[in-house]
A = this chain, B = another copy of it.
Amino acid sequence: MKVGIIGLGLIGGSLGLDLRNCGHIIYGVSRKESTCNRALKKEVVDYADINLKSLSTVDIIFICTPIGLISQTLKQLIPHLSKEVIITDVGSVKTCIVKECESLWTNFVGGHPMAGTAEQGIEAAQKNLFKNAPYVITPTEKTPENSMKILEELAQSLGSLVYTCSPEIHDQSVAWISHLPVMISASLIAACSEEKDKSILKLAQQLASSGFRDTSRVGGGNPELGVMMAQYNKTALLHTLQGYSQQLDEITEYIKTEQWDSLQKLLMITQQERSPFIGIEKNS
A-side residues, CB < 8 A to B, are 114, 133-134, 136, 161, 163, 165, 169-170, 172-174, 176-178, 180-195, 197, 199-200, 203-209, 211-224, 226-227, 230-231, 234, 237-238, 240-241, 243-249, 251-252, 254-256, 258, 260, 263-264, 266-271, 273-278, 281-282, 284
Determine if B263 and A230 form an interchain contact, defined as CB atoms under 8 angstroms apart. Answer: yes
Contact of A258 among B234, B252, B266, B284 (CB under 8 A): B234
Determine if A238 and B214 form an interchain contact, defined as CB atoms under 8 angstroms apart. Answer: no
Residues of B within 8 A of A274 (CB): 189, 216, 219-220
CB contact under 8 A between A223 and B271, given known A134-B207, A230-B263, A277-B208? yes
Contact of A282 among B173, B206, B215, B237 (CB under 8 A): B206
Complex: A204 Cα to B236 Cα, angstroms: 13
Determine if A255 and B241 form an interchain contact, defined as CB atoms under 8 angstroms apart. Answer: yes
Residue of B nearest to A166 (CB): B199
Separation in Å of the A187 CB from the closest CB of chain B?
A: 4
Determine if A247 and B190 form an interchain contact, defined as CB atoms under 8 angstroms apart. Answer: yes
Determine if A234 and B255 form an interchain contact, defined as CB atoms under 8 angstroms apart. Answer: yes
13 CB-based A-B contacts, threshold 8 Å = A134-B207, A161-B206, A177-B207, A186-B266, A191-B244, A204-B277, A205-B277, A212-B277, A219-B270, A219-B274, A223-B268, A241-B248, A241-B251
